[in-house]
Amino acid sequence: MSNEKGLRKGLTNYGDKDFAIYLRRSFARSMGLSREMLDKPIVGIAMTPSGFNNCHRFMPELVEAVSRGVLAAGALPRPFPTISTGEVFLNPTSMVYRNLMSMDTEEMVRAQPMDAVVLIGGCDKTVPAQLMGAASADVPAIQLVTGPMSTGRHKGERLGACTDCRRFWGKFRAGEIESDEINQVEGRLAATAGTCAVMGTASTMAIIAEVLGMSLPGSAAIPAVNAGRLVAAEATGKAAVGLISNPILPSQIITQKSVENALRALMAVSGSTNAVVHLSAIAGRRGIRISNALLNKISDETPVLVDLKPVGQGYMEDFHAAGGVGAVLREIKHLLHLDTMDVCGVTLDERLAEPLDWVDRKVIREASDPVSPEGGLIALSGNIAPNGAIFKRAAATPDLFEVEGRAVVFEDLEDLADRVDDPDLDIKKEDVMVLRNAGPIAAGMPEAGYLPIPKKLARQGVKDIVRISDARMSGTAFGTIVLHISPEAAVGGPLAAVRNGDRVRLSVKEKKIDLLIDDAEIARRMQGHTRPEKPKRGYRALYAERVLQAPEGCDFDFLVHEDLHSAETNKHPRVRK
């Protein structure tokens, strides 16, 4: 890394360094900056506002507050834009563009003259993308999240996107409420700026950023509309300046130990299934692999302590008021690596030595009185998922944990949309809904794993049914749903061998998901398997050619850390065919 600071850092190459700095300063002066300001160290501010990203509506205020903190600490703030991935505004899914945003972040942080950077994001894929980019660029960096929404109201009931949106939509599909009421609910679910109000993917990733040590302690859960969010932004700007004189790199913060701490926190808050994919991608940028065995070990040892939707009753604003991340970490302190370090240079042990003034035990339980004695997420294995699958047991129906059912197969997303509500669909509540060709290569791995309960069953009062797929589901969703089946069907995973009427067995106790036919029959069926046609041009072609599977975080094979790169490309030669 160059020892140059400020505007002298990373000069544009004209073959004459003196001319390059002269020209750069000249153009910087055209932005109305004094020579005094141009001599200061620089903090970049990666900002992600977009008219297609509701979660980032307060971005201008956050940039202003960060800039205020940077200036107060004696440096020059320089905001710059990157891609912004609004979760519900991207086709086919924002997951496809997470890697693109991470590349944008990494390259702009590395290429532009900045001594440290503040990364501002919030919506589901923006925080992992920024952390992935920062981990690879390895420039001093701090994550600042936009914060969660506050709840709305409907007929005396609190509402929060997006668990309640799914609940009401289920009622509408079942004929329990009419179109007038669902239209009313539509306008009351997302009542303020910010990310989803429940323990969905955005909230989970904010917590993971804090536990990893990449954001300021206590900053993950401050509501977007709370004045404390702007105070945290100002403090983040000041802390970024501190990183210039006392550099702490992402490679020193994102370590095997901090990743394991993040997994512990993920289990304790019963966070999103998506966090497993995103944390795997972030860790992979530093050469760290999360195995299914490690995930299950941590899950079995770590209690669920947080009573929030979609698993419990509360919302993120309650979690913040109850004590937030700090309260959770103190309850599982005995399970954590306490020698990890955050962006302030403070060890986790030092942080947790400070007492909290109060904890709301209705929201954040004591370890001796958990919501559940085991973590919310587990990895499954079996002949249908040789490389694993993910299951959120905390959001599932216990009566469906040990079941065997008849497979009802949907070939792809179009087939699902066409047939799921067909009155003649041959399906019963004891069956297993199977969706394939929805993985990273086939479809970009959308949040389609939350297969809708067919109307004919919903109107019979069926609230849950076993569903399995190579897709993801929203962190705000719930149900007995097996996700991230790997390898995906499109690349020849055994999920492609399932036929209507086959028997499928789920055992949460054994952490298994199996197709009840022998290996020889699976191999025979796979002989005629053909892969879907890949896109031919642009980023989508690159994605289909180089994306890895879910256990590797769906990152690109050429972006993972060099310690893992050769292993991944040898393991997945298909990505280059």
CATH 3.40.50.2300 residue ranges of the chain are 40-150+192-353
Give the type of residue at 93.
Answer: T
Work out whether the CA dihedral 561, 90, 143, 439 comes out positive or negative: negative
The pLDDT score that the predictor gives to residue 573 is 43
CATH 3.50.30.80 residue ranges of the chain are 378-526
The number of angstroms, rounded, from the C-alpha of 467 to the middle of its chain's C-alpha atoms is 21
Rounded Cα gap, residues 452 and 542, in angstroms: 31
Contacts with 389 (C-beta within 8 Å, 6 or more apart), sequence order: 379, 380, 381, 382, 468, 482, 483, 484, 485, 486, 513
Rounded Cα gap, residues 355 and 60, in angstroms: 34
Q: Are 300 and 375 in contact (CB under 8 A)?
A: yes
Distances (CA, A) of 563 to 286, 463, 571: 8, 46, 14
The pLDDT score that the predictor gives to residue 532 is 83
Q: Tell me what the mean pLDDT of segment 6-16 comes to.
A: 94
The pLDDT score that the predictor gives to residue 567 is 61
The 3-class SS string of 156-215 reads CEEECCCHHHHHHHHHHHCCCCCHHHHHHHHCCCCCCCCECCCCCHHHHHHHHHHHHCCC
pLDDT digits (tens, 9 = 90+) for 266-318: 999 999 999 999 999 999 999 999 999 999 999 999 999 999 998 889 999 99
Give the DSSP H/E element, type plus range, for residue 386. Answer: strand 385-392
- 112: number of CA atoms within 13 Å, CB side? 21
The pLDDT score that the predictor gives to residue 382 is 98
Beta bridge partners of 154: 157
Give the type of residue at 176.
Answer: E
The 3-class SS string of 233-245 reads HHHHHHHHHHHHH
Give the type of residue at 79.
Answer: P
DSSP-derived letter for residue 345 is S
The pLDDT score that the predictor gives to residue 571 is 54
The pLDDT score that the predictor gives to residue 566 is 60
Q: Which of 180, 181, 156, 147 is nearest to 167 (CA)?
A: 181
pLDDT digits (tens, 9 = 90+) for 492-513: 999 999 999 999 999 999 999 9
Give the type of residue at 189.
Answer: L
Query: CA torsion 366→372→377→379, rounded to 10°?
Result: 120
Q: Tell me what the mean pLDDT of segment 254-265 comes to.
A: 98
The pLDDT score that the predictor gives to residue 163 is 83
Domain 378-526 falls under CATH 1.10.8.640: no
Return the residue matching tokens 């834009």. 81
pLDDT digits (tens, 9 = 90+) for 419-459: 999 999 999 999 999 999 999 999 999 999 999 999 999 99
CATH architecture of 40-150+192-353: 3-Layer(aba) Sandwich (3.40)
The pLDDT score that the predictor gives to residue 568 is 53
pLDDT digits (tens, 9 = 90+) for 54-84: 999 999 999 999 999 999 999 999 999 999 9
Rounded Cα gap, residues 365 and 388, in angstroms: 31
The pLDDT score that the predictor gives to residue 574 is 44
Rounded Cα gap, residues 347 and 257, in angstroms: 12
Which of 176-190, 212-226, 544-558 shows the lowest per-residue confidence on average (mean pLDDT)?
176-190
pTM, 2 dp: 0.95
* Average pLDDT of every residue of the chain: 95
